[in-house]
Amino acid sequence: MEPQVLKVYFFLLVFATIISRIMEYIKIIFQWLWPKIKILQYTGDFIWSAVKVNLDRLGLEYDPVKMRDAVDKISVAVSMQVLAFGLGILFCLVFKLEVVSALNLQLHNEIVKRVLTGLLAGAGIGPVHSVFRMSGEKRKIKELKSAAQR
């Protein structure tokens, strides 16, 4: 990997780890607040009733207690991921962070660059690894093509 790309990779890994740790604390607070805030309960009930209607319409058999628990867990996970994306985007916009230019992507809008950086960092460590793995594979393909043309 080129030194500049390596710096970007390290930055995104650190940034994604920080966001991940913050989200762990937010999740603990969120789980503590859930029974205390009525709108969160109403939201959970609304999602469950929509899922239940569709399961019943499909004629699927299910244990309502286990299914409700699964729906609540998925709802919390989706909420946490959306918050992580939002937190990543917010940090990048406020602190004017972007790594898209260092990856040689041709975008001219600074806001779009920051939003993409925030989405990547908010997605977590796994997607950061995947992006750089794909980048490395693309570079290998280009090198093989240029070697084949010689």
What is the value of pTM for the model shown?
0.79
At 113, which amino acid appears?
Answer: K
pLDDT band at 57; cut points 50, 70, 90: very high
Contact (CB, 8 A) for 85 and 118:
yes
Question: Of 19-33, 105-119, 134-148, which gets the smallest average pLDDT?
Answer: 134-148
Domain ranges (residues) in the chain: 3-149
Residue 40 banded pLDDT, cuts 50, 70, 90: confident
Residue 1: which pLDDT band, with cuts at 50, 70 and 90? low
User: How much is the mean pLDDT over the chain?
Assistant: 89
pLDDT for the residue 62: 96
71-86 pLDDT per residue, tens = 988 988 898 999 999 9
Q: What kind and span of H or E run contains 145?
A: helix 125-149
Evaluated on CA atoms 138, 142, 144, 145, the torsion sign reads positive
Residue whose pair of structure tokens reads 């890994």 in the numeric block: 13
pLDDT-based confidence at 144, cuts 50/70/90? confident
